[in-house]
Amino acid sequence: MSTAATKKKQELIERFGLDPVPKELRTSKWIDYTFIQIAFSVNAGNFLVPAMAVIEGGLSFQYAVLSTILGASLAFFFVAWLSLPGATHGIPSQFAIRSIIGIKGARFAASPIRTITSLYWFAVQTIGGSFVISELSYRLFSIEIPFLLISISLAAIMTLLALIGFDAIKKATKFFIPILFIGQGIILYLYITTDTIEKTFFSIVAEPQAFSSLNFLFFASLAFIQYISGVSSSADIARYAKSERHSFYGLLGGNIIGFSMAALLAAYSASAFNHINPFVSATQLTDSYLLISLITISALFSMVSINMSNAYTGAFSLLNSIPNLGRVRSALVFGGIAIIMSCFPTVVTEAKQFISLLGGFVIPLSAVIVTDFILFKKNQISIKDLERIINPPLFQFNYSAFTTILIGMISYFIISDHYSPGFCAFAISVIVYFGCERWRLWRKKEKPEQQQKEQKQELSL
């Protein structure tokens, strides 16, 4: 291949995914998004909060499932709503976020937060998947594979896959879906039909227990924290949507259905086996190599599908923070850090603390994005908004946003866990941002009127 051809190919790789998606490529329907989100949802990372609600929060199966579904569904609503700019203009999320908090605001606040969030969930997925493969390889072949070897290999493979882009993810996911559903069906079948434990599936599901409103709200808040960060990235996938409605209803329905299945399996695994991962606990109920193999494959594919999305989003966010890296190098840098993080199992074992810590940064930023888009931009990024981040003078900072983020962070960290800091800090941030922006707009309106008044006074003199 000639030098010119190689350079041209490199430029195409670098630009792929950065430019607005042409109209002719926006063909994804709501059913495509629904299937993709269902495939992404049943995975090791999404088992964490529902299982912790049982094991650490002491909630019954029913309340653990209901609590986390309510918190996650509220987040999914906002995530689906913030997908609209991508569906309307075909632009990446971080470009849309620039029109809300400014170019430097997106570069130095939103993008780093999203990169860190993606890195954390990439590591969680990789570690969870590594434990599954390690456990099940021993059950199937009596082979003990070192954890680090598995996690490093998986992280490296998924980093390379992320370079391919969304179109490859969509095609791969369509292939994964039947296998994922088969694996989920086997787990549910084993749970329902097992007679190896003291209590049956239905007795655990129907078992009445005391209700703790504080724990119920806390884990609803924790689920909300886990998913609300998606408001800063959902437009990326929606860029390929046939219309705004297709992206909104596809993402909302798929996320809720998929998470509901994950919550059901995780809460039962925690209630019946005191185990956080249904992929592992279900295999303890059978000696069938076929069933164990199918569950293992399902676990592997679910991890790969969600982590391609994490790497894809995280690399784009890193690129927005450090544009000189280029798309390829940003993906490789993201992957290198993700590989290192995937070597530390405490990322999963101390998930409650890590998710809570991330919430201090994610919640205020997400509240600003949601409030500005819904209340001030009236659910659309206009051409005028886009021109402000393209044509001089460029929109660099949203000072109301940074004031709100600072107050929201302080509020989040001083509010006790008993009072659901995720929900409280989100509400406080919404109120603060609304007040700051209304005051700014009022001052902006008052200034010309004051100048006109002064000019009239000068003329009268």
Task: Calculate the alpha carbon distances from 362 to 106, 232, 380 in Å.
Answer: 13, 10, 22
Locate all alpha helices (DSSP H) within 322-420, ordered by sequence. Answer: 326-341, 346-349, 351-371, 383-388, 399-414
Instruction: Show contacts of 167-175: CB within 8 Å, 24+ apart.
Output: 167/240, 169/36, 169/305, 169/308, 169/309, 169/312, 170/28, 170/32, 170/36, 170/240, 172/304, 172/305, 172/308, 173/35, 173/36, 173/39, 173/40, 173/305, 174/35
pLDDT, residue 254, reads 94
The per-residue pLDDT for range 83-112, each reduced to its tens digit, is 998 888 887 777 788 889 999 888 889 989
Reduce the DSSP state of residue 380 to 3 states and report it.
coil
Examine residue 78 and state whether it is found in any structural domain, yes or no: yes
Is residue 171 domain-resident?
A: yes
Instruction: Establish if 456 belongs to a structural domain.
Output: no
pLDDT digits (tens, 9 = 90+) for 118-147: 999 999 999 988 888 887 788 778 888 888
Tell me, yes or no, whether 424 lies in a domain.
Answer: no
State how far the alpha carbon of 387 is from the alpha carbons of 146, 153, 383, in Å: 53, 44, 6
Angle subtended at Cα 114 by Cα 87 and Cα 226, rounded to the nearest 5 degrees: 90
* Residue 13 counted as domain residue: no
- Say how far apart CA 188 and CA 228 lie, in whole Å: 28
Minimum mean pLDDT among 47-61, 153-167, 345-359, 394-408: which range? Answer: 153-167
Domain count, the chain: 1
Bond into 323 cis (ω within 30): no
Tokens of 126: 């990789």
Q: Residue 291 belongs to what H/E stretch? A: helix 289-321
Query: Residue 94 is part of a domain; what is its CATH number?
Result: 1.10.4160.10
pLDDT at residue 11 tops 50: no
- On the question of pLDDT at 370 being above 90, the answer is yes
**355 in a domain, yes or no?**
no
Residue 202 above 60 pLDDT? yes
**Distance separating alpha carbons of residues 269 and 54, to the nearest angstrom:** 9
pLDDT at residue 287, as a whole number: 85
Q: Give percent above pLDDT 90 in the chain.
A: 42
Decide if 421 is inside a domain: no
3-state secondary structure of 422: helix
CA distances for 117 relative to 58, 153, 175, 330, 338, angstroms: 27, 21, 27, 16, 11
Q: 264 near 282, Cβ under 8 Å?
A: no
Query: Predicted confidence band at 16 (pLDDT cuts at 50, 70, 90)?
Result: very low
Q: Which pLDDT tens digit goes with each residue over 139-193?
A: 778 888 888 999 999 888 887 777 765 556 656 666 777 888 899 899 999 999 8
The length of the chain in residues reads 461
CA distance 222 to 351: 11
Task: Specify the pLDDT at position 449.
Answer: 55
Contact (Cβ atoms closer than 8 angstroms) between residue 361 and residue 113: yes
Q: How many CB atoms lie within 10 A of CB 454?
A: 10
Cite the DSSP H helix spans in 16-92: 30-41, 44-55, 61-81, 84-89
Euclidean distance between CA atoms 459 and 461, whole angstroms: 5
Measured CA to CA, the distance from residue 320 to residue 416 in angstroms comes to 34
Q: State the Cα–Cα distance between residues 58 and 232, nearest whole angstrom.
A: 33
Q: At what angle do helices 351-371 and 421-460 cross, to 10 degrees?
A: 30
157 inside domain: yes
- Note the pLDDT tens digit of each residue in 386-429: 888 887 778 888 999 999 999 999 999 999 988 899 999 999 99
Strands (DSSP E) contained in 108-239 are: none
Show the domain range for 234: 24-199+209-350
